[in-house]
Chains A and B, each alone.
Chain A
Amino acid sequence: MIKSENLVYEYKRNISDNKEDRIRVLDGLNIDIEDGQFISIVGHNGSGKSTLARHLNALLMPTGGTLWVNGMDTSDENNTLSIRQNTGMVFQNPDNQIVASVVEEDVAFALENIGVPTDDIWRRVEKSLATVGMIKYREDAPNHLSGGQKQRIAIAGILAMKPRCIVLDESTAMLDPGGRKEVIDAVRELNSKEHINIILITHYMEETIYSDRIFVMNRGRIVMDGPPEHIFSDISMLKKYNLEAPQAVYIADRLRKEGFVINKPVLSMDDLVSVFADYKIGVGNVDRGKKS
């Protein structure tokens, strides 16, 4: 469970020798995320997404307001290690987060840090590598793996800590479409089978359509919050925040403007196809002839 009250993060920037400027990156956030949810956070660059992510596992501390992760106040340094075990983080660049030169040793890194006994390390490393489908690469050098595989290793490294939440901070941004799918499939499965809370920060709107909730961030605030069908019902709002809708949503929106009756929520091409299937069996279907 993650909850914040009026969360603020500011930093100072020197404009000239004795003048300072205060930059407010997070501007009074109030969030409340229940366990086991799949949350997506979208927003253009500089909207504060990554700064929020870094607060969730105490890499950054709030300069105002409070954030609780699993009931622990993140600004209390005594909680830092427990919070980081509870909430793991996958970063953007797959190369820059791998510590060891052998896959299984990298997965073990966090466990070594928190002092897990050797026998337990082996068991937990094995289990997490199997969960992300990377067990057969356990003795390989990470340099030879694809981007998607490297990110799955990073996920396994977190999984080994038995976390309740995994934050993906633009972890699909540097991957090709195949790699992106690998990562999204892996975290969707963790969410549905192991009930691990997933917080996915991404620029690819297609990845967010499976979430329970989407947060849209702009200038350090959450400006939209709701299930995908709610967020994608208003494309003009998304445009205002410099974002795009998934293609199916875009087509549905254009068709609505042309007067087509589309009463059910459309998120994917499958949804769109089913709208036209409904027309065939007569739902909302009366031949309109050639007028309008």
Chain B
Amino acid sequence: MSIEVRNLNYIYNEGTVFEKQGLRNINLTIEDGEFIGIIGHTGSGKSTLIQHFNGLNKPSSGTVLYNGDDIYKKGFSKKQLRSKVGLVFQYPEYQLFETTVLNDVKFGPKNIGLSEEDIDNNARDALEMAGIPKEMYNVSPLELSGGEKRRVAIAGVLAMKPKFLILDEPTAGLDPGGKNEILSLIDNLHKKDGVTIVLVSHSMEDVAKYATRLVVMNDGEIFISGTPGEVFKKYRELEKIGLSAPQTVYFLKELKNLGYDVNTDIITPDEAVREIVKKIHVKRI
């Protein structure tokens, strides 16, 4: 299974005075089982790009293939596509509208026409995965805390059992506890349930920790892509477009400059600690 973006261009307000190029010549293939991190500053085209993955935006030229099929071809069911390619918007808690948590999560599976039994099972599974306790199933979503609302909204997409899950800054505005709950939920989906993940994030630390591949966007184009190690090695280029590498990368680079023989490909704090313990021999107590 795969999502393939081919020569995609997207122009906002095409044919009006407000015309503006949103995306320029994007080529990208998302393979089964990947965990892709998309980074780039605000306005670089990240959100516009991911809204093409499930056919919400229509490209000005180029196309998107799902398992080799053109999703913009006549007769291609967008509804089925959207159940396979789940998209979680930024601040998704603002889409909750039903009277109870459980009913809200059922909205997606209902729309794609599942049987009553499947709808119920899917919804309950999704809520369990999202770590929502059973006693909350019948309360109004408006009564939940910010972090809980966010997880219910994610469950609303998971209930369609997507093979691909795309999340647009899912941890924005949460406290550290809420943020970690969401990230470990995503990590579990990837590792245990084999869901392919596309995570749009501003946090270099988060994508360094989880992603298997990074796509860096700038001004509507793919600026660099590759494994996190490869991308963060080019930190000078990232700085040119207003981004940076995780702090750990700079730290190890400084240690190397001091004359310590450490591996500078390391990008997460835990690996850095292991590397220092292994390579730097000073008196310890």
Contacts and interface: CB of A to CB of B under 8 A. Distances in A.
Given A258-B273, A261-B283, A147 B42 contact: yes
B173 A174 contact: yes
Interface string A249-265: 01100110011110000
A292 B43 CA distance: 51
A286 B176 contact: no
A277 B258 contact: yes
A115 interface: no
Contacts of B62: none
Interface string A97-130: 0000000000000000000000000000000000
A288 B279 CA distance: 12
Contact of B255 (A170, A254, A276): A276
B172 interface: yes
A288 B176 contact: no
A265 B254 CA distance: 19
A193 B73 CA distance: 61
Contacts of B250: 269
A273 B258 contact: yes
B285 A269 contact: no
Contact of A284 (B254, B270, B282): B282
A45 B283 contact: no
A157 B225 CA distance: 42
B276 interface: yes
Contact of A203 (B43, B175, B251, B276): B175
Interface string A167-208: 000100110111100000000000000000000000101000
Interface string A61-99: 000000000000000000000000000000010000000
B91 to A, nearest CB: 9
B139 interface: no
B16 interface: no
A243 B269 CA distance: 17
B248 A247 contact: yes
Which of A146, A176, A255, A280 gathers the greatest number of chain B CB atoms within 10 Å?
A: A176
Interface in B238-285: 242, 244, 246-248, 250-251, 254-255, 258-260, 269-270, 272-273, 276-277, 280-285
Contacts of B202: 176-177
Nearest to A205: B176
A135 interface: no
A84 B273 CA distance: 48
Contact of B247 (A173, A261, A269): A269
B37 to A, nearest CB: 15
A44 interface: yes
A287 interface: yes
A231 interface: no
A251 B254 CA distance: 15
A285 interface: yes
Interface string B212-247: 000000000000000000000000000000101011
The secondary structure that dominates the A interface is loop
A134 interface: no
Given A203-B175, A269-B247, A272-B251, A250 B145 contact: no
Contact of B284 (A242, A243, A244, A261): A261
Nearest to A177: B202
Contacts of A286: 282-283
B281 A45 contact: no
A280 B247 contact: no
A259 B202 CA distance: 34
A248 interface: yes
B260 A276 contact: yes
B283 A284 contact: yes
Contacts of B173: 92, 170, 173-174
Contact of A255 (B172, B242, B254, B276): B276
A177 B250 CA distance: 17
B237 to A, nearest CB: 17
Given A251-B251, A276-B258, A287-B282, 15 more contacts: A45-B177, A146-B42, A146-B43, A170-B173, A203-B174, A242-B175, A248-B247, A250-B269, A254-B269, A259-B284, A269-B250, A276-B254, A276-B255, A276-B280, A285-B282
15 contacts: A44-B175, A45-B174, A173-B173, A174-B173, A178-B42, A203-B174, A247-B247, A261-B283, A261-B284, A269-B251, A276-B258, A276-B280, A287-B281, A288-B282, A290-B281
Interface of B: 41-43, 145-147, 172-179, 202-203, 205, 242, 244, 246-248, 250-251, 254-255, 258-260, 269-270, 272-273, 276-277, 280-285
